[in-house]
Each structure stands twice: as C-alpha cells, then as structure tokens.
Structure 1
Amino acid sequence: MAKRGNNDKTPLIRRILAIIGVLVLLGVNGIFFTKAVRGTFDTPGAFMTAAVSTVAIPIVVWLFVWAFSAVTGKRTVASPDPYGRNEKDESEDEIKAEDLNIEESTDKSETSSVPGKHDRISNGKVDTVIFDIGGVLADFCWEQFIKDKGYVEDTVNKIAEASIKSPAWDEFDRGVLDTMEVIQGFVKNNPSMEAELYDVFSDLSGLLRKRERTIPWIRALKKAGFKVFVLSNYSKQAEDANPFMKEFLDEVDGGILSYKEQIIKPDRKIFELICERYDLIPGKCVFIDDLQRNVDAASDFGMKSILFESYEQVDRELSKLGVTCKIEM
C-alpha cells in the first residue's frame, strides 16, 4: 500500500544553502556598492559588475545543481518536480484506488465466495426455490414398481441391489448410455438376475408417481414472488415413460435434468450450471432434495438446503428462511 501522509517542508540543508546563497549575493553587492560609494572603483563599472553578479551567480549555481541532479538522479531545486508534487498526487491516486479496491473487495466478499462467473453468495433474502423431482415433487416408488412386475420381496431386494441401489444406476440419469447398455451394467452386478433385470427396466412406466400437491405448491410459491426451478438426476427413459411429469415441468421457471447435460448430482458442476444458466445467486436459493449427499453438495456450493422428510417439515424450514406461501389445493 502507498505510504500515507506527506512532508511538504523544505529539508534543512536546502534552507541553509539558500540562506548562504542570499548572503553571498548580498555580500558581493554590498562590497561593490561600498567601493562605488567610496570611489575605489569606477562607479558605472562597479554597478555593472554587481548587476551581472546578481544574475550570473544564481544561473551558474542553478546549472551546477541541475547537473548534479541529472547525474545522481536525486531530487534538487533544479529538478522538474523539485517538491515531489507529482509523486504526491500519484500516491494519493494510488491510495484512493486501493481504498476503492478494498471497498469493492468487501462488497464482493459479501456476495461472492465460489469461483467462477456466477459463484456469488449472499446472505440476503431467499428469492429462489430449487426442487429435486424424485422423492420431492414426485414419488420415486421403485419398490412398488418392481413388485408390480410380479416379483416377491426377496427378488425385489436382489434386483434393487444390482440396479437402483448400485452406482450403475447413475448411468441412467447421466444420459450417456442407452437402456440396454445400462441394464448390461446391472447384470454385471448380479449375472444370476439377468432375465429379471431386463424384464423390470426395459420399461420404466410407473417408476414415478404424481403428487397432488406439486403443481399447487409451485403456483403458490410463484404467486408469492419466488422463482421456482428443478434440479434433478433424471433419465430420458423415465421422462418418456412418465408423461405426467410435463405437467409440472411446464409450471416451473426452468431447470436442469441431468440426462440433458450429462452431469449428475452431487457434482458441483451441476449447481454451477443452473446458477449460470438462470443467473441465480447461490445464497438466495434454497435447494430441496431427499438425499443427504445432494443437500450437502448444495450447502457446500453456497445454497441454503433442506433435506426432504415430509411436507410439514419442509414447510417449517422454508418458513424459517422467509419462504411462505398459501397453497390452494
């Protein structure tokens, strides 16, 4: 940081030299004046000598000082900026610039702590609600879905362990592999269940079920002035097999479905993407999901987050954040 304050006083040595110079000039002129009065010198000649000395001596001294300044680089009375006023102005400009940078940095620290263009975090009022879909806006009823295919409890568990409860399920939501390729991944987890896995997951109709509160909830939030988005690990197969989803997707302000972007939660990039695409401030968003790992990822990104357990519990937590609305069923 530039040094504050200044020293406008002329250094003592300069004052002494200036006084000596004045005394020399006075002395020379005094001598010539005295000689002229007494008639020792030719009066006109003495006068001219005094006049020339008065002009010549300062010029000679100035030239000497200027040469000294040019050679040594030190500031002297002969320097272009003898008192450092330009440096002073530059210093003050630097100080003002630094102060401005500090203020801007302070402002940014209140609204930004996440790298990237839209990693702004604010502790202001929540203005955006972001929903997961399965387990929040719709029932993800995988167990009943498998039972409806005609399988008993023990078989249901084996199918689930090889598919929905395994990391291979993420490939459905990531949208990189087609249905058969995803099922092949399930079969690798339990080859003995190959026939059952192909039977169950070749058609995902009924995997998700409509919740009656969803559309009234979205409408009530929007009526209360909140923006509403969805952010979900969601497959193209599930979307095609469950057309009712379009009903509430048409109600929200936008959102991210993982298969379209080939990114899944809890990857930080998916949170960055929704904020960048819709110009959202993370700290003014509340994210609602039924999985703890996704809620934690949203919190780490800077969003307020709620783990969905029940409507009543979510309503209470939203109310604490100032998010209230009147739902008309």
Structure 2
Amino acid sequence: MIRAVIFDCFGVLYIKTADFFYEAAVPHYHEIREQLSEINRMSDYGLITQDDRAQQISKLTGLRLEEVQNSMSRRYVRNTKLLDYAQQLRARGLKVGLLSNISAQTMEAFFSTEERQTLFDSVVISSDEMLVKPNPAIFELMAERLGVTPGECIMIDDLTANCEGAEVVGMEALLYGSNATVKASVEALLAGS
C-alpha cells in the first residue's frame, strides 16, 4: 500500500521557466518534448548558438521568436500546481517528502525553513546527509524519515538514474514529464494499492 509520495525539487517542484512556459503555451508540447530536449542538448554542447537554439524552438513550437527568447532568459519557477497537488495528497492522509541533491544554503532560496516544515512531512537534502541521488541509501533514509518502508513510497524525479535508484530499494518511481502525466500515474498507483 502506498503511504508516501516523495518529490524532487529541481525539474519537478521547480521547473525551468522555459519548460513550464512551453507546457502551458504549446498545445502539442508532449509530442515535441524530446525534440526540445535535443535542441537544448545541442546548445549545451556548443553545436548551435543561442540564437540558433531560439530560432529552432520557435519553429518547432510555433511561438514567436521573442516569446522563446524571453522564456530562455529566466531560470526556475515554482510549480505551484504540483505543489498544490502534494498538499491535496497530504490532506488525503499520505506523507509527502522532499528529496533533493542540493546544498542547504541553496535550498533556503527556494523553500524557506518554515515552508519546508509546513509543506512537507520530511525533507532530505543531499548536502546535509553527504549522500546524493541515485545512491539507494538516500532513498532508504527518506523513507525512514517519513516513517514508512521504501515499498510504500512513490518517488517523482526528472532523471532516469534517480528513478532507477529509488526502484532498487523497492520504491515506485515516476519520471516527471508533466503535471498531468504525473498526477494520473500517482492516482493509478494509489488506486492499485
């Protein structure tokens, strides 16, 4: 039986502004997500310029070049819809955890100590534990802090390796793609448990 849902911070509860923007602004976002990622990878490797990147994204999404350039200039935005869903899960009696590879000092800029205490039943920050995902030990620690077994947890992360680390200890793992797909997958797992 699932008793806890654990969220990653970056890529899940905080989304790169561009990704969040594209999901909201592009009706066929889910169909082109991989192509967008490939364009971004080409830019990361220096194979295309930032201008080329913006032009390719504009062409792929159908958005105006200026809209794409504006979205690229921002960093992260809080995924309030998914955070609201996490609170709905808590209201239904599930434990909610936050597990992130981050320094405590950096975390404070995104979730204050007070917010972490209010929004989550437990928070595990890699720098505090000297463990990082995908090390299975950090997932076991998260479950322990939530007072559940790993087999009673769903881990939501945006990286495949981290999902695999969670699965090694017996957690259900969901690779974040969008709010809608994650919510549907969580609900399906809850219905089946």
Whether 1:137 and 2:13 are equivalent positions in the alignment is yes
Q: Deviations over 1:181-209 (max 9, x none)?
A: xxxxxxxxxxxxxxxxxxxxxxxxx7532
Q: Is the 8 A contact 1:127 1:285 kept in 2?
A: yes
Is the contact made by 1:129 and 1:229 (CA closer than 8 Å) also made in structure 2? Answer: yes
Task: Give, as a single letter, the amino acid of the residue that structure 1 aligns with 2:7.
Answer: F
Q: CA deviation at 1:276?
A: 2.7
Asked if the contact 1:232/1:257 (under 8 Å) is kept, the reply is: yes
TM-score by length of 1: 0.39
User: Which position in structure 1 is the counterpart of 2:78?
Assistant: 210
Quote the Cα distance in structure 2 between the aligned partners of 1:277 and 1:221: 18
Q: Secondary structure at the match of 2:77?
A: strand
The structure whose Rg is larger is 1
Higher relative contact order (CA 8 A, sep 6+): 2
Match of 1:226 among 94, 112, 115: 94
**Judging changes above 3 Å, is the alpha-carbon distance between structure 1 residues 248 and 275 closer, same or farther for their aligned structure 2 residues?**
closer
Distance 1:240 1:252, change over 3 A: closer
Q: 1:128 to 1:306 in 2, by over 3 A?
A: same
Q: Where in structure 2 are there 5+ consecutive unaligned residues?
A: 20-39, 47-73
Q: How does 1:46-195 map to 2 (within 5 A)?
A: 125-140=1-16, 157=44
Amino acid paired to 1:319: E
Show structure 1 runs of 5+ residues with no match. 1-124, 144-152, 160-205, 325-329
Q: Is the 8 A contact 1:208 1:242 kept in 2?
A: no
SS at match of 1:276: helix
Post-superposition offset of 1:140: 4.1
Distance in 2 (alpha carbons) for counterparts of 1:246 and 1:288 = 23
Query: What letter corresponds to residue 190 of structure 2 in structure 1?
Result: G
What is the identity, as a one-letter code, of the residue corresponding to 1:219? Q
Structure-2 change in CA distance of 1:207 and 1:257 (3 Å)? farther
CA distance in 2, matches of 1:278, 1:223: 16
Q: Contact 1:215/1:248 (CA < 8 Å) preserved in 2?
A: no
Q: Secondary structure in 2 aligned to 1:225?
A: coil
Give the SS at the match of 2:115: helix
> Whole-Å Cα distance in 2 between the matches of residues 141 and 249 of structure 1?
25
Q: How many residues align?
A: 143
**Aligned partner letter, 1:300:** V
Structure ranking higher in strand proportion: 2
